[in-house]
Structure 1
Amino acid sequence: MAYDPAQDGAEMDFRKRMSYGDYLQIDQILTAQKPLSAAHDELLFIIQHQTSELWMKLALYELDAARAQLAADNSRAALKVLARIARIFEQLNSAWDVLRTMTPSEYTEFRDDLGQSSGFQSWQYRLIEYAVGNRNLAMLRPHEHRPDVMALLEAELARPSLYDEALRRLSRLGLAVPDAALTRDLRQPWQFDAEVMAVWAQVYRDPSRYWEAYEIAEKLVDFEDYFRRWRFNHLTTVERVIGFKRGTGGTAGTSYLKRMLEVELFPELWRVRTEL
């Protein structure tokens, strides 16, 4: 006989109960894809970017939590959240593997329908960059038509980044983080600081003494490692699909993405390795 879950107590009548689809608003999610062409691969393109935006929403939620825990001197909780953020970016990296199954000729079938829309206009991605310290004020301009988004971006620029909170925690642990790093203009992007690198060198030379700071350092490096891979996978996917054409949003395409690869979020943590 065919198995009937109701015989084991499974609920089968949802006329007056909340179902799985109700809770997750599945109908709204599955009707949010609106291809503008008849091209087969446009649905792939839309879903890849929409799901990436969902993962970025979670990343922002967790970045807020990590900073709050660091500010509250609860590093153990912050470390757990930072580990989750790295895994989120692992998921974002996997999405490029699916998109790379689309060939240049397939993308050409609907690329013109995108108009001037481009991934670099993602306000959630901009918030992530601002949250982790890459505070390029020039990148506010693509969002000026959205006062609500501008308010979110300006609020982010007014608060300490993830790296700022990590350095403040190190200071409260008794490490000699320079005052200039602790009182800097938060709106500006982080600039390499040799004195901050010296603090990290102290931590790495005696991890057992500075174990909490050491764990914070490695979790930050872990996150940036995945973040760099995400940028690199973006670059290789674009080069594989459109070569060296300009991006739909007017950027220089792959040359723009290559410049983004040069950005270091936590430069002292990477350069200190040479000093050890």
Structure 2
Amino acid sequence: MGCPIDHGKAPQAEPHGDHHGAQLDFSRDMSYGDYLQLDAILAAQKPLSPAHDEMLFIVQHQTSELWMKLALHELVAARQHVAEDRLPQAFKMLARVSKIFEQLVHAWDVLATMTPPEYSAVRPYLSNSSGFQSHQYRQIEFLLGNKNAAMLRPHAHHPERLAAVQAAFETPSLYDEALRLASRRGIPLPAEVLDRDWTQPYAAHPAVMALWQQVYRTPEQHWDLYQLAEEFVDLEDAFRLWRFRHVTTVERVIGFKRGTGGTAGVSYLRKMLDVVLFPELWTVRTEL
């Protein structure tokens, strides 16, 4: 067969590396850098100290925020699909978020190459900036059900960020939507589960425990809910690993010093390890 004719379509993006016959003149067409807006992204690293290692600190946190942006994109869409009974699409998105958190776990491996003296050279220039002020991370926490009104305050100075965090705070979590879905599927749940104050953190309930016992004991009758539960467990598993790696990296780099944002540092992060997002999905394993 002959070669397909180019009817003036835009050139296809090429992966890294040289390729015979690749488009080389982008004076009029969109280039790789244009599409990804690399000039803006690569100009966003502006170290404040003379320390060589500050570039690592900035890049690690900026790339983590980009991964969190994608995680938020997927979690919001997954919650909507669960609310609209479109579980296959939600499964795909939740699986992707679990992989994103695997990526975030490995980001700590790179930051852990920063030694205490190297971080000490950077720390005075950070002022009160701290990762707990990340509005994207806070939205993820709220979407996963860990609601805390006090965590709205760090964003009060920026109305647009506050609005996004507030919206996640006031709407049902991913787990809340899953329980409402189970009710629509004919599994009875009480009103205090289905129509509760969404701004409060979720607390385990005996009726929800009974729901997941039913699902896990007869998965062939509730296959979608069974698979959804396992996607949630995968997600929380990955999220726990990310939390744990965060704690160990901070302890390795700064020990038990207070965090730059005023938190208790490692002791605060260790408390977060005890947070369980989907409690019945873990305790049901003991009951089976």
Same fold (TM over 0.5): yes
Aligned equivalents of 1:96, 1:115: Cα separation in 2: 22
Structure 1 segments, 4+ long, off by >2 Å, are none
AA paired with 1:72? Answer: E
Q: 1:110 aligns with which of 122, 127, 137?
A: 122
Q: Distance in 1 between matches of 2:48 and 2:24?
A: 38
User: Counterpart of 1:47?
Assistant: 59
In the alignment, structure 1 segments of 5+ residues that lack a partner are none
Pick aligned residue for 2:261 from 239, 243, 249: 249
**Deviations 1:32-70 (CA, angstroms, capped at 9, x unpaired):** 001111111110010000000000000000011101111
Instruction: Pick from 88, 95, 98 the counterpart of residue 86 of structure 1.
Output: 98
**% identical aligned pairs:** 63
8 Å contact from structure 1 (residues 70, 78) kept in 2: yes
Write the mapping of 1:1-276 to structure 2, written as runs, cut at 5 A: 5=19, 8-276=20-288
Cα distance, 1:158 vs structure 2:
2.6
CA–CA distance in 1 between the matches of 2:34 and 2:248?
Answer: 39
More moved, 70-79 vs 44-53:
70-79
Give the Cα–Cα distance (whole angstroms) in 1 for the partners of residues 155 and 18 of structure 2. Answer: 53
What is the CA–CA distance in structure 2 between the aligned matches of 1:245 and 1:154, rounded to whole Å?
31
The CA RMSD over aligned residues, in Å, is 1.3
Aligned partner letter, 1:143:
H
Q: Structure 2: how far apart are the matches of 1:196 and 1:245? A: 41
Counterpart contact for 1:178–1:196, Cα < 8 Å: no
- More deviation in 266-275 or 214-223? 266-275
CA distance in 2: counterparts of 1:136 and 1:35, whole angstroms: 33
User: Matched residues in 1 for 2:265 and 2:104: separation?
Assistant: 20
Q: Deviations over 1:11-42 (max 9, x none)?
A: 11100010000000001111100111111111
Unaligned runs of 5+ in 2: 1-16
State the alpha-carbon separation in 1 of the partners of residues 107 and 134 from structure 2.
Answer: 16
How many Å separate the matches in 1 of 2:147 and 2:94?
A: 20
Q: Which residue type is aligned with residue 196 of structure 1?
A: V
